[in-house]
Structures are given as structure tokens and as C-alpha cells.
Amino acid sequence: MKKDLLLAFDIGNTNIVIGVFRNKELVTNWRMETNKDRSADEYGMTLKQLFEFEKLKMESVEDIIISTVVPSLTYTMQHMASKYFGVKAIVVAAGIKTGLIVKYDNPKALGSDRIVNSVAAYEKHRCATIVIDFGTATTVDAVSACGEFLGGTIVPGIKISSNALFEKTAKLPKVDLQAPGQVICRNTIEGIQSGVVYGSMGMVEYIVKRMKEEIRAITGSDEPVRVIATGGLATLIASEIDCIDEIDKMLTLNGLSLIYEKNKTSKTARGNAGEE
């Protein structure tokens, strides 16, 4: 059987997004809840069912690449890759080839998802970019026109902010995240929605404005800066602000495919897949 599939894992604090690529093209993708207590076998059997549903063959997987911000799942997924696919997975970490020059005080402390997103954005546009990822945490990262990862900002995610009001106060309810249409609200639910959603919009506008100024100061260039958003709540936040140029929900998966192409012949990027 021809082995022509790449399996990519974007493991976040809340969800795991999985992509299947053939010839650098995304064939399908799935999303599941991140569960640190699940075993390699449980993840492997879930993937078996997903592959069967899509009429794909697990035997066709040539390689696997993993980006994770949940360290405890790294070994689990490496072991799953070895047992169910017969593959030593590539794990995105410090030292892997990305095509970016990382200007970060301690690259080992940098979340791999931030680098993966930045690679995808830069390779797509080849210009200075700002990448906003609306995940469990909201990250805003800057890449120069010559491919330097300059750094960025980390903000509590929108759901975290909303849940904190519910968990840390005696009377405020848990609410659905949606824009209520006004900031002068006459009930508590809409008041929370307004504060969380419109407050996030204002935060994004300010950080993007300031980040563009700092990119120009650092690089000495007045070239345009493209702003790309990804993550589950990107559409909600981008709906009423003008500073976001593009929404790309598959940005991280595409970044993983690009990084794989740069590292597929390298053995140094491979983790050790042992016994669980």
C-alpha cells in the first residue's frame, strides 16, 4: 500500500486539532477534546474510527508531526504514533528547522503553536505579519519581513475571561460568548457579553496598533504589516474591527505541514517512541 499521508497534531490546552495531508494538501481535519488522562491506546483507537469514517487507511500514513503545549501528552502521542502507525513522530521543539530566525530570550520557553502559526503566515505572504491565535490563551506574535520571529504578547483567552467572572464572583452567571449589539446593557448577561467580547476587540485593536509601530521601529521599515487571525473565536472578534486582514482557521495545520517538509529527512527532530 502506498504511504502518502502526513498526520499532523496541533495539541492545545482545550482541543486537539488533527489534519491529514496528501501531497501537501489538507485532505480532512478533526477536532477532539484534550484529555491528559487518555492513554496512547485510547487516542489510537479514536483515530482508527476517524480514519474508517473518512475511508482512509492508517497504513497509508507515511509520517506524523506533533505540536503540543501540553508536555504530558508528548510521550503519549509519540507512543501512539509508534504503536498504531509504525512511525517515529517529529515533535516541534527548539532546534527544529522552521525557516524563521527566532529572536526570543529563551526559545525553549516559546510555545510551539506560536512558531507553527508564524511559519504558516510568513510562508504564505512573505511580508511582515502579526498572527493572532484566539485559543485558550490569546497570543499575538510579530514576524518581520525578513523572517524573524520578534516576539509577542500573551493574554488570557476570551473563554478564560468569561469563566473567571462566573467562577470568582458570587452572583455573575456563566454566559454564551456573543456580541450583544451594545455596550450600554440593561441586564447582567448582556453586560458580561459586552465586556468580554467588546473588551477583547478593543484589546486586539490596541495591541495590533502598537505592535505595528514596534515592528517598524525594530526593522526600520515602513512596509505594510499583514494581520492574520486563527482560532475558534477569530470570526467573532474580527466581525466588528478593521485591524484583522484575514482569518485562516487552518493556519496551524498548514504550518505543521510546512515544518514537516523542512524536517522530513532529519532524524534529530524525531522523538523516542518507547513503551507506555
Residues with a catalytic annotation lie at 113
Residue in 72, 81, 73, 76 with CA at minimum distance from that of residue 7: 81
Name the E strands within the chain: 5-11, 15-22, 25-33, 61-68, 90-91, 101-102, 129-134, 137-143, 148-156, 226-230, 246-247
Residue in 121, 140, 4 with CA at minimum distance from that of residue 62: 4
The dihedrals phi and psi of 228, each to the nearest 5 degrees, come to: -120, 135
* Residues 108, 111, 116, 117, Cα dihedral to 10°: -140
Task: Reduce the DSSP state of residue 226 to 3 states and report it.
Answer: strand
Residue in 226, 267, 259 with CA at minimum distance from that of residue 244: 226
- Beta-carbon count within 10 A of 83 CB: 16
The whole-angstrom separation of Cα 34 and Cα 113 is 15
Interior CA angle at 18 toward 14 and 24, to 5°?
A: 145
What is the DSSP-derived secondary structure letter of residue 9?
E
Exposed e or buried b for every residue in 211-234, given b needs 16+ CB within 10 A? bbeebeeebeeeeebbbbbbbbbb
The whole-angstrom separation of Cα 225 and Cα 29 is 29
The whole-angstrom separation of Cα 250 and Cα 255 is 9
